[in-house]
């Protein structure tokens, strides 16, 4: 497996897998129910990947969907769920702010030397909030931001909570849940 693919799998696969492991070892039955509002997450991710609109518009739509989802979930959650969704919201904001202020995600000069051909804008004397850019080096010439780290933590917590709600073996799941979701 090429280094870049391995790093991508680790970055995007490790947080959900760690959340799955935490859900399996957790004893408490505290969890999070999936709600219709949660459909905004795959829509927001799809808007980033499948660009029907210009790139800037696609990213703006994606961020709007994901931030809306996170704000609603933080506002309607309590306890560990509020912390998990809050981490996702904070990570998204920590990534969105430097992108909005600079027109693209800033990256360090060392990132450019190592990775080359990066999307974004190189950090210089005019860069707003350079400390929130892609400045944390990873293997295989990849870099991540503080927002990415917070998003990964939020992903671990959220997946752990969502998967922790699985019913016990032998428990019958009603066809029509009585609780209504947002």
Among candidates 144, 143, 165, which has minimal Cα distance to 153?
144
Among candidates 170, 165, 173, which has minimal Cα distance to 22?
165
- DSSP per-residue string spanning 18-40: HHHHHHHH--S-------GGGGH
Least confident of 60-74, 80-94, 101-115: 101-115
Rounded (10°) angle between helices 80-102 and 146-163: 150
Q: Maximum Cα–Cα distance for the chain, whole Å?
A: 62
* C-beta atoms surrounding 109 within 10 Å: 11
Q: Dump pLDDT digits (tens) for 94-147.
A: 999 999 899 889 998 877 777 666 678 899 999 999 999 999 988 777 789 999
Q: Dump pLDDT digits (tens) for 2-61.
A: 565 666 667 667 777 777 777 767 655 556 777 899 889 888 888 887 878 887 788 889
Helix %, strand %, coil % of the chain (to 5): 60, 5, 35
């Amino acid at each position: 497996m090429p280094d870049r693919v391995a790093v991508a799998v680790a970055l995007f696969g490790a947080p959900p897998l760690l959340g799955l492991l935490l859900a399996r070892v957790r004893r408490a039955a505290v969890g999070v129910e999936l709600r219709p509002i949660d459909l905004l997450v795959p829509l927001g991710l799809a808007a980033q990947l499948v660009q029907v609109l210009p790139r800037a518009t696609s990213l703006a739509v994606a961020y709007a969907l994901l931030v809306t989802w996170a704000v609603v979930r933080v506002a309607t959650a309590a306890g560990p769920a509020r912390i998990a969704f809050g981490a996702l919201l904070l990570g998204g904001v920590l990534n969105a702010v430097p992108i909005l202020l600079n027109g693209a995600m800033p990256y360090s000069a060392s990132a450019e030397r190592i990775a080359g051909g990066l999307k974004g804008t190189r950090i210089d004397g005019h860069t707003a909030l350079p400390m929130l850019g892609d400045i944390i080096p990873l293997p295989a010439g990849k870099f991540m931001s503080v927002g990415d780290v917070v998003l990964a933590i939020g992903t671990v917590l959220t997946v752990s909570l969502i998967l922790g709600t699985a019913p016990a073996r032998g428990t019958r799941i009603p066809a029509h849940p009585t609780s209504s979701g947002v």
